[in-house]
Chains A and B, each alone.
Chain A
Amino acid sequence: MRLDRLAVSWLILLGLSAVTLLLARHGGDGSGAGVGVAGAAALLALAVAKGREILLHYLELDRAGMAWRVLLSGYLVALCGAILLIYAAGSLGWIGPAGGAR
């Protein structure tokens, strides 16, 4: 089978999902890689990487106008960035119960 860009995307997505699965398994005991601001950042970075493959190659934004790429990639990065910021704010005790719980 000829390995075109779409198949490469599929393999990249499977690989990124496997890495996510490893983080999920190690996070199972409550002390693993999914915990803390760094763990959240790693998981969200994986989500952005997956989302970019989907946007550029499944949704074919690599062939669309630059404005669409900027708009939708920007949405992905801004949303995951905001999720991380809110998580960090909770962890550091800026919002939520005093002192945080982590």
Chain B
Amino acid sequence: MDGPALDGREDGFSGLPGNLMMWILILGELAVFGVAFLGFSVARALDPVAFGSGQAHLNGPLGAVNTMVLITSGFIAARGVAAGRRGRIAGARAAMLGAAAVGSVFLAVKAVEYAATLGAGLSIDSGGFFTLYFLLTGFHALHVVMGIVVLAIVARWPSVENLETGAAFWHMVDLIWVILYPLVYLIR
């Protein structure tokens, strides 16, 4: 896993893949989602009964399927970065578009989930749990949409820095989901 490609990427605050501006955005996003997750936790602790009955309407296994979708998409994007570093531009392009396509499955599953929730008469106005559920999952889904756009852009202009930058954003969306999923869907 270690090798000559890693030269000069070892010390202190150095060696992040992609553009530094993207990492500033990533740190900001992680801070915002972190505060939102803590807010959700406090709201649940203050009203555990309403949160428990609200959560019982959600489809936990479907969320696990979406976790697998995102980590598979992230894997394909990471492969695309590796292909780009080896100069295999066509392979990098295909991987980024493939990652975007798999990422769109996440949105399709999310649409099925929202249709079921809204179909049961539960909307963003249906009390504290559903307000926070729609805000958190909707905000995250918006990042999935933005991530798919970013992946398409770096597939169009696949320099190594662009590939690394686009993939870094995509992995951040992935990281947020692996915390959001158990927090909102499973812990009761």
**A residues apposed to B, CB below 8 Å:** 4-7, 9-10, 13-14, 17-18, 20-21, 23-25, 27-28, 30, 34-35, 39-40, 43-44, 46-47, 50-51, 54-55, 57-68, 72, 75-76, 79-80, 82-83, 86-87, 89-90, 95-97, 100-102
Say yes or no: is B87 at the interface (Cβ < 8 Å to chain A). no
Complex Cα–Cα for A34 and B58 (A): 14
A44 surroundings in chain B (CB, below 8 A): 182, 187
Contact (Cβ within 8 A) A10 B186: no
Complex Cα–Cα for A102 and B4 (A): 54
Instruction: Determine chain A's interface SS by DSSP, over half rule.
Output: helix
Interface size on B, residues (CB 8 A): 55
Q: Can you give 23 contacting A-B residue pairs, CB < 8 Å? A: A10-B71, A14-B71, A24-B63, A27-B60, A34-B188, A44-B182, A44-B187, A47-B179, A50-B67, A54-B74, A54-B171, A54-B175, A55-B175, A58-B75, A59-B175, A65-B10, A67-B13, A76-B179, A79-B37, A79-B179, A80-B179, A83-B41, A95-B46
Looking at the complex, which of B48-56, B105-113, B122-130, B143-151 is the stretch in contact with chain A?
B48-56
